[in-house]
């Protein structure tokens, strides 16, 4: 941020999330809004409960898009837990974007989401978004907007195509318009310094936390020691990473019986990293006890906080 410029008095900042049935186009729209800049969750310990998907930086606003798992009709305890996370996110963001694809009839799944949204996030404005307009004739888009309007009270309605870019800015404007006035929540610079390594670290952290979030809420940090293409090959990147925990008891949780868990963490993380980088990777994962790293400013700095 540099402290050189002070944001204008009417600068807006805040959080948004997208909801909608699977395949409604939420991720694609998020990526279109964010462009190339990728944001990283691990840089802010207090926000790790809601993974940040990306940040839209504009001269007049900063829009932080958070991830939510899909809302399901709860059939299992896990389903219920996931739904709790969804509800919590909904009530904490400043605006929700409810996505419905233009090429599919509005159905029970959408009605379920609308009912839930109404009951949980009564005060959160919801923007109704008809996605994938490039797939259907204009007339169909209009019909879908009308059908969507019947579902619930929307703050705004807007059609968009993330693929051809139609009205992506309008969606951004509508979401930003619902954010409170306030300074940027995240510095711009840190997100672009080393996006890949930081994001790779975050993917490993996410994988390591999967299933043990309750046992190790904020006690994990990940650093990347080295990340470079294997010599003489352009299709393989070596990643050397360290998972930092606070106590040796946590180390055993992360490693698991005979290393079983760590292997799974590695496999999951590797898949995600390969997707991100678009190349094969070799992932070398070590677990290290960095005692009380959360309370030690020096260690915190080293771990990138």
Ligand X SMILES: Nc1nc2c(ncn2[C@@H]2O[C@H](COP(=O)(O)OP(=O)(O)OP(=O)(O)O)[C@@H](O)[C@H]2O)c(=O)[nH]1
Contacting residues toward ligand X, per CB under 6 A = 20, 22-28, 70, 131-132, 134-135, 161-163
Identify which of residues 27 and 47 has a Cβ nearer to ligand X in the complex: 27
Distance CA 1, CA 34 (A): 19
Shortest CB 101 distance to ligand X, Å: 7
- Using alpha carbons, select from 111, 121, 127, 112 the residue that is nearest to residue 89: 121
Shortest CB 198 distance to ligand X, Å: 23
Identify which of residues 31 and 192 has a Cβ nearer to ligand X in the complex: 31
Identify which of residues 162 and 241 has a Cβ nearer to ligand X in the complex: 162
Pairing of strands 221-229, 156-159: unpaired
> What is the phi/psi pair of residue 224, to 5°?
-105, 115
Distance CA 267, CA 273 (A): 10
> What is the phi/psi pair of residue 2, to 5°?
80, -25
Shortest CB 186 distance to ligand X, Å: 23
Unique residue bearing structure tokens 């994938």? 132
Identify which of residues 138 and 260 has a Cβ nearer to ligand X in the complex: 138
Range list of β-strands (E), 174-305:
221-229, 236-245, 280-289
Shortest CB 280 distance to ligand X, Å: 23
303 is in an annotated binding site: no
Non-local CB neighbours of 193 within 8 Å, separated by 6+ positions: none
The length of the chain, given as a count of residues: 305
Identify which of residues 28 and 271 has a Cβ nearer to ligand X in the complex: 28
Shortest CB 25 distance to ligand X, Å: 3
Shortest CB 132 distance to ligand X, Å: 4
71 is in an annotated binding site: yes
Shortest CB 30 distance to ligand X, Å: 8
Identify which of residues 22 and 297 has a Cβ nearer to ligand X in the complex: 22
251 is in an annotated binding site: no
Q: DSSP assignment, residue 101?
A: E
300 is in an annotated binding site: no
133 is in an annotated binding site: yes
Distance CA 303, CA 294 (A): 10
Distance CA 133, CA 143 (A): 12
Unique residue bearing structure tokens 């379920």? 112
132 is in an annotated binding site: yes
Q: Which helix (H) or strand (E) holds 298?
A: helix 297-302
131 is in an annotated binding site: yes
183 is in an annotated binding site: no
Task: Answer for the pair 54, 2: CB distance below 8 angstroms, yes or no.
Answer: no
Identify which of residues 14 and 109 has a Cβ nearer to ligand X in the complex: 109
User: Known binding site: residues?
Assistant: 20-27, 67-71, 131-134
């Amino acid at each position: 941020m540099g402290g050189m410029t002070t944001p204008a008095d009417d600068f807006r900042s805040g959080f948004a999330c997208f909801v909608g049935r699977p395949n409604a186009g939420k991720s694609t729209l998020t990526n279109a809004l964010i462009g190339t800049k990728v944001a990283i969750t691990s840089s802010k310990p207090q926000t790790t409960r809601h993974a940040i998907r990306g940040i839209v930086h504009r001269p007049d606003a900063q829009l932080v898009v958070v991830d939510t798992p899909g809302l399901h009709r709860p059939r299992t305890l896990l389903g219920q837990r996931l739904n709790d996370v969804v509800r919590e996110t909904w009530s904490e963001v400043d605006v929700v974007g409810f996505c419905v694809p233009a090429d599919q009839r509005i159905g029970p799944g959408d009605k379920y989401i609308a009912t839930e949204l109404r009951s949980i996030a009564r005060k959160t404005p919801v923007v109704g978004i008809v996605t994938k307009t490039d797939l259907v004739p204009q007339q169909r888009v209009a019909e879908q907007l009308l059908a969507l309007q019947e579902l619930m009270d929307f703050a705004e309605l807007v059609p968009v195509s993330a693929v051809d870019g139609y009205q992506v800015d309008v969606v951004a404007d509508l979401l930003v318009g619902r954010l409170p006035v306030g300074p940027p929540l995240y510095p711009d610079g840190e997100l672009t310094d080393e996006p890949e390594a930081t994001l790779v670290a975050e993917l490993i952290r996410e994988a390591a936390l999967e299933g043990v979030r309750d046992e190790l809420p904020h006690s994990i940090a990940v650093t990347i020691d080295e990340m470079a293409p294997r010599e003489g090959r352009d299709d393989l990147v070596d990643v050397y990473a360290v998972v930092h925990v606070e106590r040796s008891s946590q180390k055993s949780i992360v490693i698991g019986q005979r290393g079983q868990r760590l292997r799974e963490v590695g496999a999951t993380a590797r898949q995600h990293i390969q997707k991100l980088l678009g190349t094969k990777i070799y992932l070398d994962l070590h677990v290290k006890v960095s005692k009380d790293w959360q309370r030690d400013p020096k260690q915190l700095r080293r771990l990138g906080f």
